Amino acid sequence: MSHVYLGDSRLFSLLWKCDLELAAQAKGPPCVHCGGRLDVGNYPRKPRGGQGVLGPEYKLRLSFCCATDGCRSRRTPPSVRFLGRRFYLGAIVVLVSALRDGLTSGRAAQLKGMIGVGARTLRRWRSWWRDDFARSPFWRSVRARLSPPVDVRRAPASLRERFGEAPEDLVRLLQFLSPITTRAGLAMAG
């Protein structure tokens, strides 16, 4: 069962390494506005859902800021750890939203005890996948890459089925979704 991964520190270490790679790619080119050097400009996060398995690196969202006075534009690379501005970790949002048999009161209570997420938040996540994500420019731009088509009304469960159930498959799915974790991607995602 995929909720077992939520207590596996190896998964969260792998996601951290993926974010470091994405950050290294983003830092390479100079500032697009003025050509200035990019300095580390990480900012704090207080992610929920990884009780007891997250290292201190999960308290940071990797980012860069132009060193030129008067510019200071920010470049925040995509992330596999965070799903946009949500408080809960991306892996939590995907796995919990993908529950096969829906949200029962028993499951809601179990998830509340396990990761601290309430039923109202779970309903909001499901609604986001079904409505906002399904209509987003991001989804319209990538859905053709998935053949045969994925039933977006069942997302993210249908995406989990397509990518697979193993931990490394979850990482690949989070990499696929990573464009929606940036400001530009959020604009794409509606």
Give CA–CA dist 162/143, Å, rounded: 12
Please tell me what DSSP assigns to residue 150.
Answer: P
- Residue 158: predicted pLDDT: 93
Q: For residue 107, count CB atoms less than 10 angstroms from its CB and return exposed for 0-12, middle for 13-18, buried for 19 or more.
A: middle
Tokens of 99: 């529950």
Omega of the bond prior to 148 within 30 degrees of 0, cis?
yes
What is the band of 25 on the pLDDT scale with cuts at 50, 70, 90?
very high
pLDDT at 1: 40
What digits encode the pLDDT tens for the residues 121-140? 888 998 999 999 999 999 99
- Nearest residue to 73 via CA among 128, 36, 23: 36
Rounded CA-CA distance 131/146 in Å is 19
Q: What is the CA angle 140-143-148, rounded to 5?
A: 145
Q: Tell me, what's the pLDDT at 165? A: 85
What three-state secondary structure class fits 74? strand
Quote the mean pLDDT of the chain: 86
Q: Per the structure block, which two tokens stand in for 137? A: 């420019």
> What pLDDT is attached to residue 99?
77
Could you report the per-residue pLDDT of 51-70, keeping only the tens digit for each?
A: 677 889 999 999 999 999 99
CA atoms within 13 A on the CB side of 138: 21
186 — pLDDT class (breaks 50, 70, 90): low
The pTM (predicted TM-score) of the whole model is 0.86
117/135 Cα distance (integer angstroms): 25
CB 5 within 8 A of CB 89: no
pLDDT of residue 103: 67
And the tokens for 30?
A: 């100079």
Q: How far apart are CA 43 and CA 61, in angstroms?
A: 5
pLDDT bin (cut points 50, 70, 90) of residue 5 is low
Residues 6+ apart with CB under 8 A from 109: none
Q: What is the pLDDT of residues 134-181, one digit of tens each?
A: 999 999 999 999 989 999 999 999 999 999 988 899 999 999 999 999
Please report, for the chain, the start and end positions of each structural domain, with discontinuous segments joined by +. 2-188
Q: Confidence band (pLDDT; 50, 70, 90) for 88? A: confident
